[in-house]
Structure 1
Protein backbone atom coordinates (compact mmCIF):
# COMPACT_ATOMS: atom_id res chain seq x y z
CA UNK A 1 0.00 0.00 0.00
CA UNK A 2 1.10 3.57 -0.67
CA UNK A 3 1.34 5.58 2.53
CA UNK A 4 0.42 9.21 3.12
CA UNK A 5 1.85 11.17 6.05
CA UNK A 6 0.82 14.36 7.83
CA UNK A 7 0.99 15.87 11.29
CA UNK A 8 -1.71 17.22 13.53
CA UNK A 9 -1.47 19.35 16.66
CA UNK A 10 -3.72 18.08 19.44
CA UNK A 11 -4.75 20.01 22.53
CA UNK A 12 -3.95 18.23 25.80
CA UNK A 13 -4.16 19.37 29.43
CA UNK A 14 -0.38 19.93 29.35
CA UNK A 15 -0.18 21.77 26.02
CA UNK A 16 -0.14 21.13 22.30
CA UNK A 17 0.99 17.65 21.29
CA UNK A 18 2.25 17.25 17.74
CA UNK A 19 1.25 13.86 16.44
CA UNK A 20 2.41 12.32 13.16
CA UNK A 21 -0.20 10.36 11.23
CA UNK A 22 0.81 7.73 8.66
CA UNK A 23 -1.94 5.80 6.85
CA UNK A 24 -2.70 4.18 3.52
CA UNK A 25 -3.72 6.53 0.71
CA UNK A 26 -7.48 6.83 0.35
CA UNK A 27 -10.38 7.08 2.74
CA UNK A 28 -11.17 3.41 3.32
CA UNK A 29 -11.95 2.66 6.96
CA UNK A 30 -8.86 1.41 8.75
CA UNK A 31 -7.92 0.17 12.21
CA UNK A 32 -5.48 2.45 14.02
CA UNK A 33 -2.32 1.89 16.07
CA UNK A 34 -0.95 4.33 18.62
CA UNK A 35 2.81 3.99 18.11
CA UNK A 36 5.17 5.24 20.82
CA UNK A 37 8.76 6.20 20.17
CA UNK A 38 11.91 5.84 22.19
CA UNK A 39 12.98 8.81 24.33
CA UNK A 40 14.27 10.49 21.14
CA UNK A 41 10.74 11.07 19.69
CA UNK A 42 10.03 10.61 15.95
CA UNK A 43 13.49 9.90 14.59
CA UNK A 44 14.16 8.39 11.18
CA UNK A 45 13.96 4.79 12.47
CA UNK A 46 10.67 5.50 14.26
CA UNK A 47 9.14 7.14 11.19
CA UNK A 48 10.21 4.23 9.00
CA UNK A 49 8.73 1.75 11.47
CA UNK A 50 5.47 3.72 11.57
CA UNK A 51 5.25 3.84 7.78
CA UNK A 52 5.94 0.10 7.63
CA UNK A 53 2.96 -0.48 9.92
CA UNK A 54 0.83 1.89 7.85
CA UNK A 55 1.79 0.06 4.67
CA UNK A 56 0.12 -3.04 6.07
CA UNK A 57 -3.23 -1.30 6.30
CA UNK A 58 -3.19 0.64 9.58
CA UNK A 59 -3.53 4.30 10.48
CA UNK A 60 -0.53 4.92 12.71
CA UNK A 61 -0.30 7.83 15.16
CA UNK A 62 3.11 8.80 16.56
CA UNK A 63 2.85 11.39 19.35
CA UNK A 64 5.69 13.54 20.57
CA UNK A 65 5.87 11.82 23.93
CA UNK A 66 7.59 14.72 25.73
CA UNK A 67 5.69 17.51 24.01
CA UNK A 68 5.27 19.63 27.15
CA UNK A 69 9.04 19.62 27.76
CA UNK A 70 10.32 20.55 24.30
CA UNK A 71 9.52 22.85 21.38
CA UNK A 72 7.13 21.35 18.84
CA UNK A 73 9.01 19.24 16.31
CA UNK A 74 11.90 18.33 18.61
CA UNK A 75 13.83 15.21 17.63
CA UNK A 76 16.72 14.18 19.86
CA UNK A 77 19.91 12.76 18.39
CA UNK A 78 21.14 9.24 19.07
CA UNK A 79 24.11 10.52 21.06
CA UNK A 80 25.03 11.18 24.69
CA UNK A 81 23.37 14.59 24.76
CA UNK A 82 20.17 13.25 23.23
CA UNK A 83 20.09 10.30 25.60
CA UNK A 84 20.67 12.53 28.64
CA UNK A 85 17.91 14.94 27.58
CA UNK A 86 15.48 12.12 26.84
CA UNK A 87 16.12 10.41 30.15
CA UNK A 88 15.66 13.71 31.98
CA UNK A 89 12.34 14.24 30.18
CA UNK A 90 11.27 10.71 31.09
CA UNK A 91 11.72 11.36 34.79
CA UNK A 92 10.09 14.80 34.59
CA UNK A 93 6.76 13.69 33.09
CA UNK A 94 4.11 12.06 35.27
CA UNK A 95 2.19 8.96 34.29
CA UNK A 96 -1.20 10.70 34.39
CA UNK A 97 -0.10 13.02 31.59
CA UNK A 98 0.56 10.06 29.32
CA UNK A 99 -3.02 9.02 30.03
CA UNK A 100 -4.39 12.41 28.97
CA UNK A 101 -2.20 12.28 25.84
CA UNK A 102 -3.75 8.92 24.98
CA UNK A 103 -7.22 10.28 25.53
CA UNK A 104 -6.56 13.18 23.16
CA UNK A 105 -5.48 10.83 20.36
CA UNK A 106 -8.37 8.43 20.90
CA UNK A 107 -10.91 11.25 20.90
CA UNK A 108 -9.41 12.68 17.70
CA UNK A 109 -9.52 9.29 16.00
CA UNK A 110 -13.20 8.91 16.86
CA UNK A 111 -13.91 11.95 14.66
CA UNK A 112 -12.12 10.60 11.57
CA UNK A 113 -14.31 9.04 8.85
CA UNK A 114 -11.51 6.66 7.84
CA UNK A 115 -11.16 5.16 11.32
CA UNK A 116 -12.81 1.75 11.76
CA UNK A 117 -13.03 1.94 15.55
CA UNK A 118 -10.54 -0.88 16.13
CA UNK A 119 -7.50 0.34 18.10
CA UNK A 120 -4.11 -1.10 18.99
CA UNK A 121 -0.90 0.20 20.51
CA UNK A 122 2.79 -0.51 19.98
CA UNK A 123 6.11 0.91 21.10
CA UNK A 124 9.84 0.48 21.50
CA UNK A 125 11.89 1.04 24.70
CA UNK A 126 10.11 3.69 26.82
CA UNK A 127 7.55 3.54 24.02
CA UNK A 128 6.97 -0.10 24.92
CA UNK A 129 6.05 1.07 28.40
CA UNK A 130 3.85 3.83 27.00
CA UNK A 131 2.08 1.32 24.74
CA UNK A 132 1.48 -0.78 27.86
CA UNK A 133 0.12 2.36 29.51
CA UNK A 134 -2.17 2.93 26.52
CA UNK A 135 -3.57 -0.58 27.03
CA UNK A 136 -5.24 0.79 30.18
CA UNK A 137 -7.64 2.64 27.88
CA UNK A 138 -10.79 0.57 27.26
CA UNK A 139 -10.71 1.15 23.48
CA UNK A 140 -7.33 -0.59 23.05
CA UNK A 141 -7.84 -4.17 21.89
CA UNK A 142 -4.22 -5.26 21.42
CA UNK A 143 -0.80 -3.98 22.41
CA UNK A 144 2.72 -4.91 21.24
CA UNK A 145 5.42 -3.92 23.75
CA UNK A 146 9.04 -4.19 22.64
CA UNK A 147 11.64 -4.20 25.48
CA UNK A 148 9.43 -1.99 27.62
CA UNK A 149 11.68 -0.11 30.01
CA UNK A 150 10.75 0.80 33.57
CA UNK A 151 7.75 -1.49 33.95
CA UNK A 152 9.69 -3.19 36.74
CA UNK A 153 10.92 0.06 38.32
CA UNK A 154 9.58 3.32 39.72
CA UNK A 155 11.53 5.57 37.33
CA UNK A 156 8.45 7.19 35.79
CA UNK A 157 6.91 9.39 38.53
CA UNK A 158 3.59 8.04 39.76
CA UNK A 159 1.09 8.95 42.41
CA UNK A 160 -0.40 6.32 44.74
CA UNK A 161 -1.93 3.55 42.66
CA UNK A 162 -0.68 5.07 39.41
CA UNK A 163 2.18 2.74 38.49
CA UNK A 164 1.34 0.88 35.29
CA UNK A 165 1.81 -2.52 36.94
CA UNK A 166 -0.59 -1.56 39.72
CA UNK A 167 -3.42 -1.09 37.21
CA UNK A 168 -3.27 -4.41 35.39
CA UNK A 169 -6.96 -4.97 36.05
CA UNK A 170 -7.75 -2.11 33.65
CA UNK A 171 -6.15 -3.91 30.70
CA UNK A 172 -8.84 -5.70 28.71
CA UNK A 173 -7.04 -6.31 25.41
CA UNK A 174 -4.37 -8.82 24.42
CA UNK A 175 -0.71 -8.10 25.17
CA UNK A 176 2.39 -9.09 23.19
CA UNK A 177 5.55 -8.74 25.29
CA UNK A 178 8.92 -9.01 23.49
CA UNK A 179 12.27 -8.73 25.28
CA UNK A 180 15.97 -9.00 24.50
CA UNK A 181 17.81 -11.30 26.86
CA UNK A 182 21.00 -9.26 26.44
CA UNK A 183 19.23 -5.99 27.35
CA UNK A 184 20.91 -4.46 30.43
CA UNK A 185 18.02 -2.05 30.98
CA UNK A 186 15.59 -4.88 31.72
CA UNK A 187 17.47 -7.69 33.50
CA UNK A 188 16.12 -11.20 33.97
CA UNK A 189 14.79 -10.45 37.43
CA UNK A 190 12.93 -7.42 36.07
CA UNK A 191 11.37 -9.44 33.26
CA UNK A 192 10.37 -12.13 35.75
CA UNK A 193 8.66 -9.54 37.92
CA UNK A 194 6.54 -8.34 35.00
CA UNK A 195 5.73 -11.89 33.88
CA UNK A 196 4.62 -12.98 37.33
CA UNK A 197 2.42 -9.91 37.73
CA UNK A 198 0.68 -10.55 34.40
CA UNK A 199 0.06 -14.19 35.31
CA UNK A 200 -1.26 -13.26 38.75
CA UNK A 201 -3.63 -10.71 37.19
CA UNK A 202 -4.93 -13.25 34.67
CA UNK A 203 -4.16 -11.04 31.67
CA UNK A 204 -4.29 -12.35 28.09
CA UNK A 205 -0.68 -12.15 26.87
CA UNK A 206 2.07 -13.86 24.92
CA UNK A 207 5.71 -13.62 25.97
CA UNK A 208 8.86 -13.81 23.86
CA UNK A 209 12.48 -13.51 24.96
CA UNK A 210 15.03 -13.40 22.14
CA UNK A 211 18.81 -13.22 21.98
CA UNK A 212 18.91 -9.51 21.28
CA UNK A 213 20.27 -6.33 22.79
CA UNK A 214 18.32 -3.25 23.76
CA UNK A 215 17.00 -1.42 20.66
CA UNK A 216 17.38 -4.42 18.36
CA UNK A 217 14.38 -3.11 16.37
CA UNK A 218 16.05 0.23 15.58
CA UNK A 219 17.43 0.16 12.04
CA UNK A 220 20.38 2.42 12.91
CA UNK A 221 23.32 1.64 15.11
CA UNK A 222 25.32 -1.43 16.05
CA UNK A 223 22.56 -3.13 18.08
CA UNK A 224 20.14 -3.48 15.15
CA UNK A 225 19.31 -7.11 14.39
CA UNK A 226 17.41 -7.35 11.08
CA UNK A 227 16.40 -10.97 11.60
CA UNK A 228 14.95 -10.30 15.04
CA UNK A 229 13.30 -7.10 13.81
CA UNK A 230 11.51 -9.03 11.06
CA UNK A 231 10.38 -11.61 13.60
CA UNK A 232 9.12 -8.83 15.87
CA UNK A 233 7.12 -7.20 13.11
CA UNK A 234 5.63 -10.55 12.10
CA UNK A 235 4.48 -11.17 15.68
CA UNK A 236 2.96 -7.70 15.88
CA UNK A 237 1.20 -8.03 12.53
CA UNK A 238 -0.22 -11.39 13.59
CA UNK A 239 -1.56 -9.82 16.80
CA UNK A 240 -3.15 -6.86 15.05
CA UNK A 241 -4.57 -8.96 12.21
CA UNK A 242 -6.34 -11.24 14.71
CA UNK A 243 -7.65 -8.51 16.98
CA UNK A 244 -8.22 -5.36 14.90
CA UNK A 245 -9.66 -6.65 11.62
Structure 2
Protein backbone atom coordinates (compact mmCIF):
# COMPACT_ATOMS: atom_id res chain seq x y z
CA UNK A 1 0.00 0.00 0.00
CA UNK A 2 1.43 3.35 -1.05
CA UNK A 3 2.03 5.69 1.86
CA UNK A 4 0.12 8.96 1.58
CA UNK A 5 0.69 12.40 3.03
CA UNK A 6 -2.27 14.66 3.73
CA UNK A 7 -2.35 18.24 4.92
CA UNK A 8 -4.46 21.39 4.91
CA UNK A 9 -3.48 24.32 2.68
CA UNK A 10 -4.89 27.74 1.89
CA UNK A 11 -5.65 28.76 -1.69
CA UNK A 12 -5.94 32.47 -2.40
CA UNK A 13 -8.94 33.32 -4.57
CA UNK A 14 -10.36 36.57 -5.92
CA UNK A 15 -12.82 36.59 -3.01
CA UNK A 16 -10.60 35.49 -0.13
CA UNK A 17 -8.86 32.33 1.00
CA UNK A 18 -10.21 28.83 0.45
CA UNK A 19 -9.02 26.16 2.82
CA UNK A 20 -8.39 22.83 1.14
CA UNK A 21 -7.17 19.32 1.85
CA UNK A 22 -4.20 18.06 -0.17
CA UNK A 23 -3.08 14.46 -0.43
CA UNK A 24 -0.23 12.89 -2.40
CA UNK A 25 1.97 9.81 -2.33
CA UNK A 26 4.94 9.92 0.00
CA UNK A 27 7.85 11.44 -1.89
CA UNK A 28 8.69 14.51 -3.89
CA UNK A 29 6.81 13.67 -7.08
CA UNK A 30 5.96 15.05 -9.50
CA UNK A 31 2.50 13.50 -9.60
CA UNK A 32 -0.40 13.97 -12.03
CA UNK A 33 -2.79 16.48 -10.48
CA UNK A 34 -6.47 16.03 -9.66
CA UNK A 35 -9.02 18.61 -8.55
CA UNK A 36 -11.62 16.93 -6.32
CA UNK A 37 -14.94 18.75 -5.93
CA UNK A 38 -16.93 18.05 -2.76
CA UNK A 39 -20.59 17.21 -2.35
CA UNK A 40 -23.01 19.51 -0.52
CA UNK A 41 -22.08 18.13 2.91
CA UNK A 42 -18.68 19.69 2.43
CA UNK A 43 -15.05 19.02 3.17
CA UNK A 44 -14.92 16.45 5.98
CA UNK A 45 -13.07 13.29 7.06
CA UNK A 46 -14.84 11.01 4.58
CA UNK A 47 -13.78 13.15 1.61
CA UNK A 48 -10.25 13.25 2.99
CA UNK A 49 -10.27 9.44 3.03
CA UNK A 50 -11.44 9.41 -0.57
CA UNK A 51 -8.66 11.82 -1.52
CA UNK A 52 -6.15 9.63 0.28
CA UNK A 53 -7.31 6.59 -1.68
CA UNK A 54 -6.92 8.48 -4.94
CA UNK A 55 -3.52 9.79 -3.88
CA UNK A 56 -2.37 6.25 -3.10
CA UNK A 57 -2.84 5.51 -6.81
CA UNK A 58 -0.18 8.08 -7.64
CA UNK A 59 -1.96 11.44 -7.79
CA UNK A 60 -1.69 14.86 -6.18
CA UNK A 61 -5.25 15.60 -5.04
CA UNK A 62 -6.66 19.00 -4.04
CA UNK A 63 -10.06 19.08 -2.28
CA UNK A 64 -11.15 22.71 -1.79
CA UNK A 65 -13.80 23.88 0.65
CA UNK A 66 -16.21 25.29 -1.92
CA UNK A 67 -18.16 26.97 0.90
CA UNK A 68 -15.10 28.89 2.12
CA UNK A 69 -16.93 32.23 1.92
CA UNK A 70 -19.05 31.03 4.85
CA UNK A 71 -16.09 29.84 6.91
CA UNK A 72 -13.41 27.21 7.14
CA UNK A 73 -14.33 23.53 7.09
CA UNK A 74 -16.31 22.09 8.68
CA UNK A 75 -18.67 24.93 7.82
CA UNK A 76 -21.62 22.87 9.07
CA UNK A 77 -21.30 20.59 12.09
CA UNK A 78 -22.02 17.09 10.82
CA UNK A 79 -22.75 13.86 12.66
CA UNK A 80 -20.36 10.98 12.11
CA UNK A 81 -23.08 9.27 10.09
CA UNK A 82 -25.69 11.24 8.13
CA UNK A 83 -29.00 9.39 8.27
CA UNK A 84 -32.28 10.52 6.69
CA UNK A 85 -33.47 12.05 9.97
CA UNK A 86 -30.47 14.39 10.04
CA UNK A 87 -30.77 15.64 6.46
CA UNK A 88 -33.57 18.27 6.84
CA UNK A 89 -31.77 20.12 9.63
CA UNK A 90 -28.46 20.00 7.78
CA UNK A 91 -29.93 21.28 4.54
CA UNK A 92 -31.53 24.20 6.36
CA UNK A 93 -27.94 25.32 6.94
CA UNK A 94 -26.52 24.19 3.61
CA UNK A 95 -29.10 25.57 1.18
CA UNK A 96 -28.42 29.27 1.84
CA UNK A 97 -24.75 28.65 1.07
CA UNK A 98 -25.62 26.75 -2.09
CA UNK A 99 -27.93 29.51 -3.29
CA UNK A 100 -25.27 32.15 -2.68
CA UNK A 101 -22.88 30.49 -5.13
CA UNK A 102 -22.82 31.78 -8.70
CA UNK A 103 -21.26 30.20 -11.79
CA UNK A 104 -19.05 33.26 -12.16
CA UNK A 105 -17.77 33.05 -8.59
CA UNK A 106 -17.29 29.30 -8.76
CA UNK A 107 -15.30 29.52 -11.98
CA UNK A 108 -13.21 32.33 -10.55
CA UNK A 109 -12.47 29.95 -7.68
CA UNK A 110 -11.70 27.16 -10.16
CA UNK A 111 -9.07 29.36 -11.76
CA UNK A 112 -7.41 29.70 -8.36
CA UNK A 113 -7.56 25.94 -7.68
CA UNK A 114 -6.11 25.10 -11.09
CA UNK A 115 -3.45 27.75 -10.57
CA UNK A 116 -2.49 26.28 -7.20
CA UNK A 117 -2.06 22.86 -8.79
CA UNK A 118 -0.07 24.30 -11.69
CA UNK A 119 2.28 26.08 -9.28
CA UNK A 120 2.77 23.14 -6.92
CA UNK A 121 6.25 21.61 -7.13
CA UNK A 122 4.58 18.26 -6.45
CA UNK A 123 2.47 18.44 -9.62
CA UNK A 124 3.45 17.01 -12.96
CA UNK A 125 3.01 19.43 -15.83
CA UNK A 126 0.07 19.36 -18.18
CA UNK A 127 -3.71 19.35 -17.83
CA UNK A 128 -5.35 17.95 -14.72
CA UNK A 129 -8.11 15.49 -13.97
CA UNK A 130 -11.28 16.43 -12.10
CA UNK A 131 -13.69 14.35 -10.10
CA UNK A 132 -16.86 15.70 -8.51
CA UNK A 133 -19.74 14.42 -6.40
CA UNK A 134 -23.32 15.69 -6.18
CA UNK A 135 -22.93 19.47 -6.66
CA UNK A 136 -19.29 18.75 -7.48
CA UNK A 137 -20.24 16.88 -10.64
CA UNK A 138 -21.68 20.08 -12.04
CA UNK A 139 -18.55 21.94 -11.02
CA UNK A 140 -16.43 19.33 -12.79
CA UNK A 141 -18.36 19.79 -16.03
CA UNK A 142 -18.42 23.55 -15.72
CA UNK A 143 -14.68 23.71 -15.04
CA UNK A 144 -13.91 21.45 -18.01
CA UNK A 145 -15.94 23.76 -20.25
CA UNK A 146 -14.53 26.99 -18.82
CA UNK A 147 -10.86 25.98 -18.80
CA UNK A 148 -10.60 23.39 -21.59
CA UNK A 149 -6.85 23.83 -22.00
CA UNK A 150 -6.31 23.00 -18.32
CA UNK A 151 -8.45 19.86 -18.03
CA UNK A 152 -7.65 16.48 -19.58
CA UNK A 153 -10.44 14.48 -17.97
CA UNK A 154 -13.45 15.07 -15.76
CA UNK A 155 -15.84 12.72 -14.01
CA UNK A 156 -19.04 13.30 -12.10
CA UNK A 157 -20.89 10.94 -9.80
CA UNK A 158 -24.53 11.23 -8.68
CA UNK A 159 -24.55 14.74 -10.08
CA UNK A 160 -27.46 17.11 -9.55
CA UNK A 161 -29.11 19.22 -12.27
CA UNK A 162 -26.35 18.75 -14.81
CA UNK A 163 -28.70 19.44 -17.72
CA UNK A 164 -31.60 21.51 -16.45
CA UNK A 165 -33.57 24.10 -18.42
CA UNK A 166 -31.80 26.96 -16.63
CA UNK A 167 -29.93 29.49 -18.72
CA UNK A 168 -26.70 28.65 -16.90
CA UNK A 169 -27.02 24.85 -16.80
CA UNK A 170 -23.59 23.14 -16.91
CA UNK A 171 -24.44 21.07 -20.02
CA UNK A 172 -24.59 24.25 -22.11
CA UNK A 173 -20.79 24.36 -21.95
CA UNK A 174 -20.49 21.04 -23.79
CA UNK A 175 -19.28 22.73 -26.96
CA UNK A 176 -16.24 24.11 -25.14
CA UNK A 177 -15.11 20.82 -23.59
CA UNK A 178 -11.99 19.08 -24.92
CA UNK A 179 -11.50 16.71 -21.97
CA UNK A 180 -12.68 13.11 -21.86
CA UNK A 181 -15.76 12.91 -19.62
CA UNK A 182 -17.41 10.19 -17.57
CA UNK A 183 -20.70 10.54 -15.69
CA UNK A 184 -22.32 7.90 -13.49
CA UNK A 185 -25.89 8.65 -12.52
CA UNK A 186 -28.03 6.85 -9.96
CA UNK A 187 -31.37 5.53 -11.16
CA UNK A 188 -32.92 6.34 -7.77
CA UNK A 189 -32.05 10.04 -7.96
CA UNK A 190 -34.64 12.78 -8.29
CA UNK A 191 -31.85 15.36 -8.62
CA UNK A 192 -30.94 13.95 -12.06
CA UNK A 193 -34.15 12.71 -13.71
CA UNK A 194 -34.22 10.77 -16.98
CA UNK A 195 -34.97 13.84 -19.09
CA UNK A 196 -31.81 15.52 -17.80
CA UNK A 197 -29.74 12.38 -18.34
CA UNK A 198 -30.95 12.30 -21.95
CA UNK A 199 -30.36 16.03 -22.41
CA UNK A 200 -26.79 15.74 -21.12
CA UNK A 201 -26.07 12.77 -23.38
CA UNK A 202 -27.39 14.62 -26.42
CA UNK A 203 -25.41 17.78 -25.64
CA UNK A 204 -22.15 15.88 -25.26
CA UNK A 205 -22.78 13.75 -28.35
CA UNK A 206 -23.77 16.73 -30.51
CA UNK A 207 -20.63 18.58 -29.37
CA UNK A 208 -18.39 15.64 -30.28
CA UNK A 209 -17.11 15.24 -26.72
CA UNK A 210 -15.38 11.96 -25.93
CA UNK A 211 -17.54 10.70 -23.11
CA UNK A 212 -19.48 7.92 -21.47
CA UNK A 213 -22.61 8.32 -19.35
CA UNK A 214 -23.91 5.39 -17.33
CA UNK A 215 -26.77 4.79 -14.92
CA UNK A 216 -25.99 2.65 -11.88
CA UNK A 217 -29.05 0.50 -11.27
CA UNK A 218 -30.39 0.46 -7.74
CA UNK A 219 -28.10 3.27 -6.57
CA UNK A 220 -29.32 6.40 -4.79
CA UNK A 221 -28.10 9.98 -4.85
CA UNK A 222 -24.90 10.02 -2.79
CA UNK A 223 -23.95 6.38 -3.38
CA UNK A 224 -20.22 7.07 -3.02
CA UNK A 225 -20.51 8.68 0.41
CA UNK A 226 -19.81 6.07 3.09
CA UNK A 227 -20.72 8.42 5.94
CA UNK A 228 -24.32 8.68 4.72
CA UNK A 229 -27.29 6.33 4.49
CA UNK A 230 -27.19 6.65 0.68
CA UNK A 231 -23.92 4.72 0.47
CA UNK A 232 -23.90 1.73 -1.87
CA UNK A 233 -20.69 -0.28 -1.59
CA UNK A 234 -21.03 -1.96 -4.98
CA UNK A 235 -21.75 1.29 -6.81
CA UNK A 236 -18.95 3.05 -4.93
CA UNK A 237 -16.41 0.44 -5.99
CA UNK A 238 -17.64 0.65 -9.56
CA UNK A 239 -17.05 4.39 -9.36
CA UNK A 240 -13.45 3.82 -8.28
CA UNK A 241 -12.85 1.40 -11.14
CA UNK A 242 -14.16 3.84 -13.74
CA UNK A 243 -12.49 6.91 -12.24
CA UNK A 244 -9.06 5.31 -12.03
CA UNK A 245 -9.36 3.94 -15.56
CA UNK A 246 -10.27 7.42 -16.84
CA UNK A 247 -7.27 9.02 -15.19
CA UNK A 248 -4.94 6.22 -16.29
CA UNK A 249 -5.99 6.88 -19.90
CA UNK A 250 -5.71 10.64 -19.80
CA UNK A 251 -3.20 11.86 -17.23
CA UNK A 252 0.56 11.65 -17.55
CA UNK A 253 1.82 8.83 -15.30
TM-score interval for Structure 1 and Structure 2 normalised by the shorter chain? over 0.9
CA contact (8 A) 1:54 1:60 kept: yes
In the alignment, is residue 107 of structure 1 matched against residue 107 of structure 2?
no
State the match for 2:105 in structure 1. 97
How many Å separate the matches in 1 of 2:162 and 2:102?
A: 14
Q: 1:142 aligns with which of 149, 153, 162?
A: 153
State the match for 1:73 in structure 2. 73
State the match for 1:44 in structure 2. 45
| TM-score for both structures, normalised by structure 2 | 0.89
Give structure 1 stretches of 5+ with no counterpart.
Answer: none
Cα deviation digits, residues 87-121 of structure 1 (max 9, x gap): 22111110011111111111122222221124100
In the alignment, is residue 195 of structure 1 matched against residue 196 of structure 2?
no
State the match for 1:177 in structure 2. 183
CA contact (8 A) 2:7 2:21 kept: yes
How many Å separate the matches in 1 of 2:122 and 2:18?
A: 21
Cα deviation digits, residues 161-193 of structure 1 (max 9, x gap): x54222222211100010011112111112111
How many Å separate the matches in 2 of 1:47 and 1:114?
A: 18
Structure 1 runs, 4 residues or longer, greater than 3 Å off: none
How many Å separate the matches in 2 of 1:190 and 1:53?
A: 29
Paired residue secondary structure (1:185): coil
Give structure 2 stretches of 5+ with no counterpart.
Answer: none
Paired residue secondary structure (1:115): coil
How many Å separate the matches in 1 of 2:72 and 2:224?
A: 26
How many Å separate the matches in 2 of 1:65 and 1:223?
A: 22
Cα deviation digits, residues 64-97 of structure 1 (max 9, x gap): 11111x1122343243222222222111110011
| TM-score for both structures, normalised by structure 1 | 0.92
| 1:209 CA drift (Å) | 0.7
CA contact (8 A) 2:34 2:59 kept: yes
CA contact (8 A) 2:172 2:203 kept: no
Paired residue secondary structure (1:110): helix
| 1:154 CA drift (Å) | 6.0
Q: 2:220 aligns with which of 213, 227, 233?
A: 213
Paired residue secondary structure (1:242): helix
